Homo-oligomer: A and B are copies of this chain.
Amino acid sequence: MKRELKIAVIGGGSSYTPELIEGFIQNYETLPVSEIVLVDIPEGAHKLKIVGQLAGRMIAASGLPIKLEMTMDRRSALIGATFVTTQMRVGLLQARAWDETIPLKYGMIGQETTGPGGMMKALRTIPVLLDICKDIEELCPDAWMLNFTNPAGMVTEAIQKYSRVRSIGLCNSPIAAYKWLSSLYEVPIERIHCEFVGLNHLHWISQITIDGKSKLAELLANKEGYSARNVPQFAWNGTLLQSLKAIPSYYLKYFYLQREMLEEQQQAASRGETRAETVQHLEDELFEIYKDPELKEKPKQLEQRGGAYYSEAAVKLMNSLYNNSRDIQTLNVANGNTLDFLPKDAFIEVNCQVTSEGPLVQPVQVVPEAAKGLIRSVKTYEQLAIEAAVTGDRGMALLALTHHPLTYSVNDVERMLDEMLEQNRRYLPQFFARIH
């Protein structure tokens, strides 16, 4: 009765793709995917081939009637798609290395999803995504676009503001929090309920119940619980947790432990290490494994990357959209009336009820007072940066970054911005068009 279910995976050559394929295989009964198209750009052709062949072996082993295709023709991939997922890295790991190292020269944190580095990633990525959206509007206007390209909150907000595509932002942090709690308490995820409030990579968990009973107090006594491999493992300050009465995302260490994180980055840099390089090594290893013609399933090693569960989150969301499940998932969607100190069109990370018409934001019951200023500050930066990404206005980019809590001087910001813009020139036509 339901129509063909076609998935277009933009950035299909990503090392995460096998997880996605595994998800489709495992959920076939409720989400009967008929066709998967992996799309990538010419620079990614080599990775696409390796990943695509592994995906093909996985599907063949499953015995399911799923058609798989690999292509570099994005437009043909989109025709008739039910869901589009995007995971891409404009400028590849090279650009990430710039994002992580140039700010350090100016005494600021270099991070790929927030602060100076995150803004550069947004400036490079948003125009590319908006371009994809133009194709979607034309070729599959009813498709849902699931965006997990970082900075996911900003990118999805930009899509909402500048296109008519139905898009939802996704992060692996919320699902990782559930997995952590499930393992800690040895109960299935279904019995756990968390209330998330904030933005992408800037959330707090303000309520945690198991079978309706709060576990918050005991979890606040734990200074190391909720963490991730891709963020340095500093312990939390105990007084802070007790007073906040909410568990901060590990990404909030960049804010609450700014000095320590900056020093850690500076030391790592002086040792010649960067996160971009670490990831490059992990990637290289993964692709070596993927090449094994005997491999017919997602390798265990994939779980050890920072982005574990991304694809699980994506398949879960597609499943609920497709089946009108009305279950609760934590997504990046428009604020509406939820947080009264943010604009209605600001994207937030929040519990939603997922229906076939899209996610319905659930009202947030507890918003930590202390978090409100930081959320508003980062949202202000995000909205200015989105405008800079679309207009190519250098002054707007300066304004955005100057108002970001991880910068300290408009003059330093201006000098750093000029170096970063110049370094990224080839990926930022909107900023340099007038000069050429």
Question: Of all chain B residues, which has the CB nearest A397?
Answer: B243
Given A342-B341, A380-B369, A399-B244, A357–B260 Cβ distance below 8 Å?
no
Question: Of all chain B residues, which has the CB nearest A322?
Answer: B212
- Candidate in A212, A342, A362, A394 with the most chain B CB atoms within 10 angstroms: A212
In whole angstroms, what is the CA distance A211 to B357 when docked? 11
**In the complex, A374 has a CB within 8 A of chain B:** yes
- For A355, the chain B residues whose CB sits under 8 A away are 193, 212
- For A328, the chain B residues whose CB sits under 8 A away are 326, 353
Kindly identify which residue among B365, B400, B408 contacts A258, using a CB–CB cutoff of 8 Å: B408
**In the complex, A383 has a CB within 8 A of chain B:** yes
Contact across chains for B410 and A257 when beta carbons are under 8 A apart: yes
**In the complex, A381 has a CB within 8 A of chain B:** yes
Contact across chains for B260 and A409 when beta carbons are under 8 A apart: yes
Stretch at the interface among A85-93, A161-169, A234-242: A234-242
**In the complex, A138 has a CB within 8 A of chain B:** no
Question: Of all chain B residues, which has the CB nearest A376?
Answer: B376
**In the complex, A296 has a CB within 8 A of chain B:** no
Contact across chains for A399 and B340 when beta carbons are under 8 A apart: no
Contact across chains for B357 and A360 when beta carbons are under 8 A apart: no
Kindly identify which residue among B256, B372, B384, B398 contacts A240, using a CB–CB cutoff of 8 Å: B398
**In the complex, A370 has a CB within 8 A of chain B:** yes
Given A336-B363, A337-B337, A240–B399 Cβ distance below 8 Å?
yes
**In the complex, A378 has a CB within 8 A of chain B:** yes
In whole angstroms, what is the CA distance A31 to B402 when docked? 46
Contact across chains for B373 and A243 when beta carbons are under 8 A apart: no
Minimum C-beta distance from A330 to chain B (A): 14
In whole angstroms, what is the CA distance A102 to B211 when docked? 48
Q: Which of A210-245 contact B (CB under 8 A)?
A: 211-212, 237, 239-240, 242-244
- For A356, the chain B residues whose CB sits under 8 A away are 209, 211-212
Contact across chains for B341 and A341 when beta carbons are under 8 A apart: yes
In whole angstroms, what is the CA distance A383 to B409 when docked? 26
25 sampled A-B residue pairs with Cβ under 8 A: A107-B259, A193-B324, A211-B356, A212-B324, A239-B394, A239-B398, A239-B414, A240-B398, A240-B399, A240-B402, A242-B395, A243-B398, A243-B399, A256-B402, A256-B409, A258-B408, A337-B363, A341-B376, A353-B353, A353-B362, A361-B363, A369-B384, A373-B378, A373-B379, A374-B403
Q: Which residues of A approach B to under 8 Å, CB–CB?
A: 107, 193, 209, 211-212, 237, 239-240, 242-244, 256-260, 324, 326, 328, 336-338, 340-342, 353, 355-357, 360-363, 365, 369-370, 372-374, 376-381, 383-384, 393-396, 398-400, 402-403, 405, 408-412, 414
